[in-house]
Amino acid sequence: MIKVKKYKVQTIKHFDNNGNSLGFLNEYENADLRCQIAEEKVSGYYLMFNGKKIEIQPNGTINWYDWERGLYDTNEILFARLFLAQRRGSV
């Protein structure tokens, strides 16, 4: 049976290059911030997740070794489930 599952939108506290809080950003706001950082090529922006400071690089990326499980990963997990379900159904 199909049931609609409700998800709580994850928000994580972000900071500018002076350590000022930008507030709690959701996944889409985080992506927009990272785009702006890359477009402006600024450094020093970061977020705090599970007590760990995670820097956003001037090209907008977050280093893979800094990426923590649970950090904005709901879409990836759901798309992996979808891909697996699709693969199981293929000939």
Instruction: Write down the pLDDT at residue 1.
Output: 95
Could you give the C-alpha distances from 11 to 3, 35, 70, 71, 85, in angstroms and in order? Answer: 25, 18, 11, 10, 29
Neighbours of 30 (CB within 10 A): 20
Helix (H, G, I), strand (E, B) or coil at 15: strand
- Kindly give the residue spans of alpha helices, DSSP state H, lying in the chain: 27-40, 74-89
Confidence at 90, pLDDT banded by 50, 70, 90: low
Q: Where are the domains of the chain?
A: 12-89
Confidence at 89, pLDDT banded by 50, 70, 90: confident
Confidence at 91, pLDDT banded by 50, 70, 90: low
Confidence at 37, pLDDT banded by 50, 70, 90: very high
Instruction: Write down the pLDDT at residue 66.
Output: 84
